[in-house]
């Protein structure tokens, strides 16, 4: 009997197509008008892909199929999930709606220059803007 392979402390766990599929379903759900209010083209922009590509992934994900994406797209999905986590962690438990309000409300922090997180991300559409937003929220929660 073979021993299970151990994962090195510095080695990130493997992201499977099923993980990506779940993340795409999450992004689709959180993008609804009553949440982050992101269109299909907005979602594609944040993932750094063409709208047609994103629609194909979304269809596969909705059918329960795994979705193969680049490392760049995996990183972008990770940042978006981290942004949601950060917003949830700085929101009082009894005020869950703030997670969505703060995403769309103007922010006075110099990182955002008076724009909402949503507008900042969509204006830049870059990995750097995702990283900056995630770092800002991590700092806000004391991480």
Q: Do the domain assignments include residue 116?
A: yes
User: What's the pLDDT tens digit per position in 86-107?
Assistant: 999 988 888 888 889 999 999 9
User: What's the pLDDT tens digit per position in 39-67?
Assistant: 999 999 999 999 999 999 999 999 999 99
Give CA–CA dist 45/55, Å, rounded: 12
Q: Do the domain assignments include residue 76?
A: yes
Report the predicted TM-score, pTM, of the whole model to 2 decimal places: 0.87
What is the residue range of 62's domain?
A: 17-140
Q: Do the domain assignments include residue 10?
A: no
Total domains, the chain: 1
């Amino acid at each position: 009997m073979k021993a299970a392979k151990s994962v090195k402390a510095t080695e990130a766990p493997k992201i499977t197509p099923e993980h990506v599929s779940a993340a795409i379903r999450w992004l689709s759900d959180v993008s609804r008008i009553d949440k982050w209010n992101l269109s299909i083209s907005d979602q594609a922009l944040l993932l750094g892909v063409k709208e047609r590509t994103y629609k194909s992934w979304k269809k596969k994900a909705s059918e329960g199929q795994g979705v193969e994406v680049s490392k760049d797209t995996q990183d972008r999905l990770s940042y978006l999930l981290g942004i949601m986590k950060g917003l949830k962690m700085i929101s009082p438990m009894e005020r869950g709606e703030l997670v969505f309000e703060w995403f769309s409300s103007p922010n006075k922090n110099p990182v955002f220059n008076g724009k909402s997180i949503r507008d900042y991300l969509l204006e830049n559409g870059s990995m750097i803007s995702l990283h900056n937003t995630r770092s800002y929220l991590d700092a806000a929660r004391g991480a």
